[in-house]
Structures are given as structure tokens and as C-alpha cells.
Amino acid sequence: MISVAGLTKRYGPVTAVDDLTFEVAAGKVTGFLGPNGAGKSTTMRMVLGLDRPTAGTATVNGKRYAGLSAPLREVGALLDAGAMHPGRTGRAHLRIGARSNGIPLSRVDAVIEQAGLGSAARRRVKGYSLGMRQRLGIATALLGDPEVLLFDEPVNGLDLDGVRWIRALLRGFADEGRTVLVSSHLMSEMQLIADRVVIIGGGRLIADSDIGAVLHGLGGQRVLVRTPAADELHRALAERASVSRTAQDELEVTGLEAAEVGDLAHAAGVRLHHLAEVEESLEQAYLSLTEDSVDYHGAVPGQVREQVTEPVTERLADGPVR
Ligand SMILES: Nc1ncnc2c1ncn2[C@@H]1O[C@H](COP(=O)(O)OP(=O)(O)OP(=O)(O)O)[C@@H](O)[C@H]1O
């Protein structure tokens, strides 16, 4: 398990991570989400002892990274797949990692196999494609067969096969009971692979929740209904829910289940042509949660919006979604 408590990092005037508290449980894939510059990498670096917190703590299985006796056996990380010696072969890179961490050399072949590196392991890293580098980075993270895994944007730059491979790999690790934290700014990707999400913006916690709760925590369930008697249905529903007219024959209802809308329409003698619950995508939920915390909104050329310092959580009744 990974625990972050009151974690704060300042670089001069920039507060990259601001009093962040959350836990990452074993047996699940936890997505770590936030717009560019939200503080994801800085947080991961502090978990891995690569950056010193200005305040607060980050621990792995109850210990700070520096206090782990065999770090690679407890935590595996993919941070920057570019940071490898270009003149070494993939295999040499892995052998050095194993030797310097007291890991048996038999693990080298095991992770080459597991990461699908194959014969590329005998080639020099400078000739690797981004996908191959990513596989080597993952092989390195797996060397010590760790229980806790951190991946910073693992699907960046990968083709569809690579993306599918990463998805299956992460799911497999979680199913084996490992702790998996994976950062991304690709919401659509997280919707496919994460069980839980920790969302940050401007260094602060915005949501820490099951994905389903994030989706449903935003203004409640919406129901779309089409009827030739929209005025009549509007009147029948108005007392019980918030109703808006979205087209001549269409209403959007917030605060009722589809079945309740159907029953009320029936009671009012209104015929329905369409009745469906609107599926919120994580993309929409994320945009809505983080819109105030994005450093720069690029939509209007020439305009730069100042970073908002008020926590977005104020828009959620009970603070961060949990
Ligand atoms: N070494 C550093 N010195 C100064 N500022 C830094 C440093 N590292 C990060 N920052 C700043 O801290 C903030 C958080 O950066 P970080 O890289 O952690 O965000 P991120 O969520 O990982 O973003 P991205 O998705 O773009 O990688 C940014 O404003 C960044 O410019």
C-alpha cells in the first residue's frame, strides 16, 4: 500500500504539491489523474524518495522509501523511459539493475519474457523504438518482483498493441494482489483500466474514489426522455426533479431514475418515445472537476488565464469525492 499524508512540495514560489493526502490500496489499479502540471510526477518522485517533501510524508508499506532495506523488491517504478544508457543493450541494463540490487540474474530472463522484449534485449537501447524503451522500463520495474508498482504515463506514445498490452499487464498485477498506481492525463484510458481514481489539480486533491462514484457524484443521474407531449410531461415532473427542455420533443431530467420518470409519465397519461439514463463519461467528469485548476486554458488565443488557487472541492457538497 502507498500512503501519502499532508504531502507538500514547493519549488521556490511554485507549490507543485499542496497538502495531499490519499492511500493506494493493494489489489486494485488506481488511476492518478490531473491536467498537465497538476503535480502527479512530483508526487510519484516523492513516493520514490527522488524528491524531498517540503512537508508531510509518503510511505510504501508503512516505510519511507529511504527506509526500505531492498527498495527494488518492494517498489517498481516506470518514470522516464528515456533515462537509460543508450550504449547498453537492454539485457545489460537489466543485469546491472539486478546486480546492484542483490536480485538473482535469473530474474533478467524472466522480466525480458514478461515485458515481451524478446530478441530486442540483445540490441543497444539507442536503437529502440519508444514502445521498446517502455517495455524495457517496465521490465526494470519488475526486476525485484515488487508488490507495489508505480507507472508514470505508461501508454504515452504507444501504438494500440502496446496500449492493450499495458492494460492487460496492469490488470494482471492488480489481480495478483499488487498495488498499482498509474498516472495519466488520458481520461478515456483510465476509464478502461482503473478501479479507483485519485484526481488532483493545482497540487491539491480533487477526488479520491471508485470511478463509478466520481461519475455519479456530479449532479446526480440524468435521464433523457422524448415525447410528443413535452409540455405536459414537463409539468408532471417539475415538482419532483430538475427538468430542462433540450429539444422540441426532448427533456433532460436530473434527480430521478429512468423508471421513476416512466412511472410519472404513465400516471400523467403521457406517451414516451425514448427513455434512457445518460452515461457520464469519466472525461466529462474530469473536465468538470478540474476546469478551474488547469494552469492555462488554451482555447482563446492570446489570453492566459491565471491559475485558480481556490480548491475545486468547494463545488462538491462534501469536499473531495471519496
Ligand atoms: N524541479 C522543478 N523545479 C521547479 N518547478 C518544478 C519542478 N518540477 C516540477 N515543477 C513544477 O511543479 C508543478 C507540477 O509538475 P509535475 O511535473 O509534478 O506535474 P504533472 O502533473 O506530472 O504534469 P505532466 O502531466 O505535465 O507531467 C508544475 O508547475 C511544474 O512546472
CATH number of the domain encompassing residue 238: 3.30.70
Beta-carbon contacts of 263 under 8 Å, excluding residues fewer than 6 positions away, are none
Residue 81 pLDDT = 58
Answer yes or no: do 33 and 83 share one domain: yes
28-83: per-residue pLDDT in tens? 999 999 888 899 999 999 999 999 999 999 999 999 998 888 888 899 999 875 66
Flag whether 267 is in a domain: yes
Flag whether 132 is in a domain: yes
Answer yes or no: do 67 and 163 share one domain: yes
pTM of the predicted protein model: 0.77
Domains contained in the chain, number? 2
Answer yes or no: do 54 and 192 share one domain: yes
Q: Quick check: 197 and 40 in contact, CB under 8 A?
A: no
Mean pLDDT of 302-315: 32
Flag whether 291 is in a domain: no
317: pLDDT strictly greater than 70:
no
Protein residues with CB under 6 Å of any ligand 1 atom: 11, 14, 16, 34, 36-42, 185
Beta-carbon contacts of 295 under 8 Å, excluding residues fewer than 6 positions away, are 35, 36, 37, 202, 307
Flag whether 290 is in a domain: no
157-206: per-residue pLDDT in tens? 788 888 888 899 999 999 999 999 999 877 777 888 899 999 998 899 98
Flag whether 309 is in a domain: no
- State the complex-level ipTM: 0.96
Q: Which atom of ligand 1 is nearest to the CA of 41?
A: 22
Residue to mutate, 4, 14, 181, ligand 1, most ligand atoms under 8 Å from C-beta: 14
Answer yes or no: do 125 and 233 share one domain: no
Question: Torsion angle, CA of 261/265/271/277, rounded to 10 degrees?
Answer: 0
| Number of residues written out for the chain | 322
What does pLDDT average to over the chain? Answer: 85
Answer yes or no: do 74 and 186 share one domain: yes
Answer yes or no: do 104 and 139 share one domain: yes
C-alpha cell at 280: 457520464
Answer yes or no: do 149 and 115 share one domain: yes
Q: Domain of 240?
A: 222-278
C-alpha cell at 41: 510526477
